[in-house]
Amino acid sequence: MKYAIFSDMHGNLEAYKAVLSALEGEGKLKYFCLGDIVGYGADPKACIAMTKEIDPVLVCGNHDWAAVGLASTEYFNDYAKMAVLWTSSVLDEGDKEYLRSLKLTYLDKDMTLVHGTLMRPELFEYVFDIDTAYKMMSIMSTKMAFIGHSHVPGIFTLEGKNIEYTAVRKISISKDKKYLVNVGSVGQPRDGDWLASFCIWDRDARTIEIKRVEYDINKARQKIIDAGLPLFLAERLGEGR
């Protein structure tokens, strides 16, 4: 069985479509989404509709909750605040009710899903370093956990008390390790690579792979501009930051 895990579409319909199109070539899949369907991009309604259509296992992101008043924008930069206000203004009540219904975490016998961290998921904190990753992996009850939020893909591994980080795209899973996987961002990568990012966990092959795919970035940028959103939000797409 293969699992497709993705995050942070951020209203970028072109990137989202490209990822889902790429996933069609992966065979039978189960979808898992780590939140931030909306925010920054110009197609929040269409991205919500697409998410409803594929019906993934889903947790909320900070922009999802901020757009419906469930999360504070106190720590958002000015561009993010403007995007949240705009997003909230274009969503209908059905869209908002959908975002309000999203939970902070998901847990089953195989995996844990959360947008930020398990320590205080409601605060949407970042996992940028080994210390934070160790704290989270120490309280994980599952072998595998998947996160988004930072928009930077990478994999932490924990064996005993030894933790390591790698940005290698594909790794084999060891029975003796725990894994914390940041799947990167579909709609707004920030690792210097503009290509949309997503993850494939192949349980039969015992591999985790971060994949990238091209999308119509010029169309996505123009939509942001046409919507009257900050120009910076369009420009950053091509810079992968």
Per-residue pLDDT of the chain (241 residues; tens, 9 = 90+): 899 999 999 999 999 999 999 999 888 999 999 999 999 999 999 999 999 999 999 999 999 999 999 999 999 999 999 999 999 999 999 999 999 999 999 999 999 999 999 999 999 999 999 999 999 999 999 999 999 999 999 999 999 999 999 999 999 999 999 999 999 999 999 999 999 999 999 999 999 999 999 999 999 999 999 999 999 999 999 998 8
The residue ranges of DSSP E strands in 56-177, in sequence order, are 57-58, 105-107, 111-114, 144-147, 154-159, 162-166, 170-172
Between CA 206 and CA 231 the distance in angstroms is 42
Residues 6+ positions from 149 with CB-CB distance below 8 Å: 7, 8, 34, 36, 61, 62, 115, 116, 124, 126, 127, 182
Q: Which residues contact 238 (CB under 8 A, 6 or more apart)?
A: 194, 217, 221
Cα of first residue to Cα of last residue in the chain, in angstroms, is: 33
Q: How many residues does the chain have?
A: 241
pLDDT for the residue numbered 61? 98
Question: What integer pLDDT is reported at residue 36 of this predicted model?
Answer: 98
Q: What is the pLDDT of residue 27?
A: 87
Positions of E strands within the chain: 2-6, 29-33, 57-58, 105-107, 111-114, 144-147, 154-159, 162-166, 170-172, 178-182, 196-202, 207-213
Domain boundaries, the chain: 2-239
Instruction: At 41, list the tokens.
Output: 């991009």
Q: Which residues make beta-bridge pairs with 199?
A: 5, 210
CATH code of the region 2-239 = 3.60.21.10
pLDDT (0 to 100) of residue 224: 98
- Count the Cβ atoms, other than its own, within 10 Å of residue 174: 12
Question: With contact defined as beta carbons under 8 Å apart, do 157 and 177 qualify?
Answer: yes
φ, ψ at 238 (rounded to 5°): -75, -20
